Amino acid sequence: MLRASVIVALAAIALCLAGERLAADGGKASGIDEVISKSEKIYAEAGHFSAKFRQSLSGGGFFEDETTSGVMIIGYPDRFRIESPEQTLVSDGDSLWSYSVENKQVTIEAMNDLNALVTPADYLFRFKEHYEVRSDTLVSLEGKKAYKLHLLALAKDEIVKELDLYIDSSSYLIVRAAYRDPNDNLVTLDFSDWKLKIKTQPDDFRFQTPSGVEEIRVP
């Protein structure tokens, strides 16, 4: 959800992963393709859905890890609302509102002008457009089985060069996304409490600036 280091810089502390090749069933490419298709289909058919998230941003010892948590609401395919105690990010598909609680400022920008932006769609259901699966492993994540996919960007100018996705083996929902931002910080996002086919209002995907908050519109 935030530039690449901020926009979804919502995540959690990495856990120990015990790996065994997904190829336990023969390692056929069609097997993981089916997993990905099932996962993407869930979000497409849900239309509107929400989840809780935990995020960690690790600089590899250069500064203390930053962690936060919150809730995100998604309107398939390109609307979202991401709320944490520190900030709120809202998009109606055309504009992005970035509200900083500490600075008492909200920045309003056009989505098509934001090249260094990582949106929920990038790691939930649009990753096949920009990445190829280079490895797939069945791992244990918080006591549950998950498919771990290691993805490499197809284009050299992609903001996120590599991406690890974890798909729950029974529900086919994304439970973790991890990647390095342009500053080489490790961004980890853990998702829980998925709710599908929820009811939303148009105002959920537009930001109402609170009284006393400065608006900054980027041309």
- Per-residue pLDDT tens for 80-97? 999 999 999 999 999 999
209: DSSP letter: P
Give dist(CA 138, CA 103) in Å, integer.
43
Distances, alpha carbon 141 to alpha carbons 15, 55, 62, 138, 219, in Å: 7, 16, 27, 10, 44
- Per-residue pLDDT tens for 107-135? 999 998 877 678 888 888 888 888 999 99
Taking the CA atoms of residue 8, residue 10, residue 13 and residue 17 in that order, the dihedral angle to the nearest 10 degrees is: -50
pTM for the model: 0.81
Contacts of 123 (CB under 8 A, 6+ apart): 8, 163, 165, 174, 177, 179, 189
